[in-house]
């Protein structure tokens, strides 16, 4: 498992589906996960620091977990099966760990609220992710050394716009060809 952080949140213009982009914490690999609009809103509100007078669902769940004397200690994004990503919430209560199945989108929204780390299985980063150091972001781009060079650079500065353009061209069904 590799720790990842929420790099950005966007909209796939081809399918009008929100996409959360996770970035390897100490690396350059990216993992895009298509999510629902409600979960995208919950993630966006937390990233923007928006608070409401009354708790919304993810805020309520976080408050219930704390009220029951538990804490969310980590989120694990474990696999993808037939275009569906799977995740687990790992809680600690009275010294015991409890793992509960969850959608990655809900898990991410909860992890942001609980300030819990998010981990992705290495195989997801190897197979499903975009590697900005080695692969061109434009799937139709020429190989390195020809007309277009791949996106490179240790800091990956300026990668957001090319990545956004690449994601606009993707169809969520494209991920069906990957079998980690």
- d(Cα 73, Cα 37) in Å, to the nearest integer? 25
Banded pLDDT at 73 (limits 50, 70, 90): very high
pLDDT value at 178 more than 50: no
pLDDT value at 143 more than 90: no
- d(Cα 63, Cα 74) in Å, to the nearest integer? 16
Pick the CATH number of 2-171 from 3.10.690.10, 3.90.480.20, 3.20.20.80, 3.40.50.300: 3.10.690.10
CA angle 158, 160, 165 (to 5 degrees): 115
pLDDT value at 163 more than 80: no
- d(Cα 62, Cα 24) in Å, to the nearest integer? 25
Domain boundaries, the chain: 2-171
Q: Nearest Cα to 21, choosing from 143, 152, 161, 123?
A: 161
Banded pLDDT at 180 (limits 50, 70, 90): very low
Report the pLDDT value the prediction gives residue 89, as an integer from 0 to 100: 95
Report the pLDDT value the prediction gives residue 140, as an integer from 0 to 100: 36
Please tell me the chain's helix, strand, coil percentages from 3-state DSSP, rounded to the nearest 5: 30, 35, 35
Report the pLDDT value the prediction gives residue 152, as an integer from 0 to 100: 31
Banded pLDDT at 28 (limits 50, 70, 90): confident
Report the pLDDT value the prediction gives residue 130, as an integer from 0 to 100: 44
What string of DSSP letters covers 59-86?
Answer: HHHHHHHHHTTEEEEEEEEEEEETTEEE
Range of weakest confidence among 16-30, 70-84, 158-172: 158-172
pLDDT in tens, 99-119: 999 999 999 999 999 999 999
pLDDT value at 162 more than 80: no
* Length, in residues, of the chain: 180
**């590799």: which residue's tokens?**
2
pLDDT value at 153 more than 80: no
């Amino acid at each position: 498992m590799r720790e990842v952080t929420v790099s950005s949140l966007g909209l796939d213009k081809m399918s009008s589906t929100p996409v959360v982009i996770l970035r390897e914490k100490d690396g350059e690999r990216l993992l895009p996960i298509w999510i629902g609009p409600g979960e995208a809103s919950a993630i966006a509100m937390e990233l923007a620091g928006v608070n409401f007078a009354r708790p919304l669902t993810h805020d309520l769940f976080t408050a219930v977990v704390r009220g029951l004397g538990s804490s969310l200690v980590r989120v694990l994004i474990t696999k993808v099966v037939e275009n569906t990503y799977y995740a687990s919430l790992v809680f600690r209560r009275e010294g015991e760990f409890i793992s509960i199945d969850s959608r990655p989108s809900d898990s991410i929204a909860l992890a942001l609220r609980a300030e819990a780390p998010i981990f992705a299985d290495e195989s997801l980063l190897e197979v499903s992710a975009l590697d900005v150091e080695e692969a061109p972001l434009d799937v139709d781009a020429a190989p390195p050394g020809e007309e277009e060079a791949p996106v490179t650079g240790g800091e990956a500065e300026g990668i957001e716009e090319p990545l956004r353009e690449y994601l606009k061209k993707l169809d969520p069904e494209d991920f069906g060809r990957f079998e980690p």
